[in-house]
Amino acid sequence: MNWAETIRTGLDAVRAHRMRSALTMLGILIGVAAVMLTVGLGQGAQASVNQRINALGSNLLVVTPGSSTSTGGVRGGAGTASTLTEADAVALRDRTAAPDIAGVAPTVQKSESLTAEGTNWTTTVVGTTEDWAAVRSRTIGDGRFLSADDVTGHGAVVVLGATTAQQLFGTREPVGRTVAAGGVPLTVIGVLDPAGSSAGANQDDQAVLPLSTAADRVIGGTAATSVQNIYLQAASQDVVSAAYQEAEGELLALHHDVTPDSADFTITSQQSILDTANQITDILTVVLSGIAGISLLVGGIGVMNIMLVSVTERIREIGLRKALGATPKVIRRQFLVEAAVLGLAGGVCGTILGIVGSVLLATAIGQPVVVSVPATLLALAVSIGIGLAFGVYPASRAARLAPIDALRSE
């Protein structure tokens, strides 16, 4: 019996017991679909996290101050000190000292209540420079952004986030209207395009002022002499590491720190945040895929069970084939083909269910579910492998039957 005859015979045997074959494939079907959806959810979450982190800015580095210590010896957390100044930002703008840094945006911020035309809304007031929009990859939807003259001239102007503008003015045009922040009247000169939430904060709910205006007239306190963060934009993704080293070296020199371990500031790269987030999602994906893979194992046991039943039911057929000259190799191959067909059919149906399920699940939870081609092909290969692996014992048992014993069985 050649391969074509073997495959035809195997397909006929599967079709002869449609209900039993369908129930056998069900375990593999569910396992393949579960693995696809689990991997898809993990990769979709990873893509969503990456998108949200990238929304913070392109090739971003964030410089934050160290921790403070009170007179009682109580140490605050990282970022509580006032060790960064606007002079640090000016030094980092020097292309001679830091040629791979394309943009620098120092910031101070505070939660403040804004009032406008009888309406009030509490938001985050951010004082910064004209480079902030480019460094943070933000665009203007209406009006304009801050200019260098606004910063140097202590301009009484403000750029609102989309949510803040909507809360204060509703459907009215905000540009040109007046908003009071901390009792200081400010003219709205622009509205930022929506950017969504990122790093646990609503990027559309903020009011951006010139750094000088925010420090001297709105926020005050330590903001008059220091900044809370300095955002840096590397010239490209390829030079993020170089920009990091340049910023670190320049700030160590300015702050008279000997080593990075003793520095009174911290530089966080966007890539490190991405790597950490990806590691978490990768671990969760692997764990959940392992759990989903258990159903594939259960499906394989089902294949072996059905094949053993098939061998028992077809003892006389096996005996007749062997009496007519079929070798143990041919008998073994026939039952392995049947097991492989069950595994392949279950894998294909599971793949279809996984693709349909990913579309429906993405719509239901509002999060992308990525259909991974490598994971899909691997699941198909595993389903066939499981069919073969769990079909070996029944096939070997059938091949070992003696013709005379098989023909005499009832």
- SS3 labels along the chain: CCHHHHHHHHHHHHHHCHHHHHHHHHHHHHHHHHHHHHHHHHHHHHHHHHHHHHCCCCCEEEEEECEEECCCCCEEEECCCCCCCHHHHHHHCCCCCCCCEEEEEEEEEEEEEEEECCEEEEEEEEEECCCHHHHCCCCEEEECCCCHHHHHCCCCEEEECHHHHHHHHCCCCCCCCEEEECCEEEEEEEEECCCCEECCEECCCEEEEEHHHHHHHHHCHHHHCCCCEEEEEECCHHHHHHHHHHHHHHHHHHCCCCCHHHCCEEEEEHHHHHHHHHHHHHHHHHHHHHHHHHHHHHHHHHHHHHHHHHHHHCHHHHHHHHHCCCCHHHHHHHHHHHHHHHHHHHHHHHHHHHHHHHHHHHHHHCCCCCCCHHHHHHHHHHHHHHHHHHHHHHHHHHHHCCHHHHHHCC
pLDDT at 105 over 90: yes
For the segment 255-290, what is each residue's pLDDT rounded down to a tens digit? 886 677 778 888 887 666 667 777 777 787 777 777
First to last CA, the chain: 26
Position 178 scores a pLDDT of 95
Confidence (pLDDT) at 406:
55
pLDDT surpassing 90 at residue 341: no
Choice between 257 and 75, residue whose per-residue pLDDT is larger = 257
The pLDDT of residue 212 is: 92
Record the pTM: 0.61
Work out the pLDDT band at 73, boundaries 50, 70, 90.
very low
As a whole number, mean pLDDT of residues 112-129 equals 93
Lowest mean pLDDT among 87-91, 179-183, 249-253, 272-276: 272-276
Q: Which amino acid, residue 293?
A: G
